[in-house]
Amino acid sequence: MIIICKLKSGIILKGDVYVPDHDHHTTMLENLGIADTKQNAETLFVRAELVPANDDVFSPIEDWKFVVDQDITPDWFVSDYEKTRMFKAVKAWAKEHIRIDESDFSIGEGTYYLKNCKMVACNSSTVTACDNSTVKAWGNSTVKAWGNSTVKAWGNAIAFIPERSWVKRESVVLMENSTLKDCNTKTIYQSGDWKLVAVEN
C-alpha cells in the first residue's frame, strides 16, 4: 500500500536530497534501492516534507513548513542544516513544476501547478490549472481546472472541474477521445464514438 505524503515530499540522505516528481516516501525509497527498515531510518535516510503555507502551492517556498516525517533520525541529521538542504532541493523542483504568469511553454510527463499560464500539456502530464490559465492537453494528460481557466483537450486527455471550482463547462473544449468530469454537476462528457454505461454500484 502506498501512503500519499504531503506536498512536497523528499528523502534526505547524508550526501543528497532526493525530491522526485511524486510524493510517496515508500516509492522514493524503492527507487533509491533502500529498504524501509528501522535500522536504515536510524542510519541512512530521513523522510521529510515541505508543506505549503495555507496549502497554497503558489505561496513563496520560503514560507513553507519543514516537517520530518519519522520518529527516529540518523546521528548525522542536524535539523537546521537539513532544512536548508531540503528548501534548496524543493526550489529546484519548483522551478520546473510550479509556474506563474508564464506563456508559450510545453510540459511532458510529471505533475505541474500553473497559475495565470498559457501552455501545452503532453504525454502523461498531470496539471492543476488555476486562475486565468489556458491549457491545451494532448495524449494522456490530466488537467484540473480552477478559477477562470480554460482547457482544450485532444487524444485521451482527461479534464476535471473539481467541486467548488468556478470553471464552467463551456470553458472546456473536448476533441477526439477526450473526457471531462464536471464534479459540480456530477456530469461526465465524452468526445468521440464511445458507448457510455452508467455504473450503479
SS (H, E, C) the chain: CCCCCCCCEEEEECCCEECCCCCCHHHHHHHHCCCCCHHHHHHCEEEEEEECHHHCCCCCHHHCEEEECCCCCCCCCCHHHHHHHHHHHHHHHHHHHEEECCEEEEECCEEEEEECCEEEECCCEEEEEECCCEEEECCCCEEEECCCCEEEECCCCEEEECCCCCCCHHHEEECCCCEEEECCCCEEEECCCCCCCCCCC
pLDDT score, position 5: 63
- Which of the two residues, 80 and 109, has the higher pLDDT score? 80
- Of 9-23, 71-85, 121-135, which range is least confident? 121-135
pLDDT score, position 104: 83
pLDDT score, position 72: 94
Q: Domain boundaries in the chain?
A: 9-98, 101-190
Read off the pLDDT band of 188 (50, 70, 90): very high
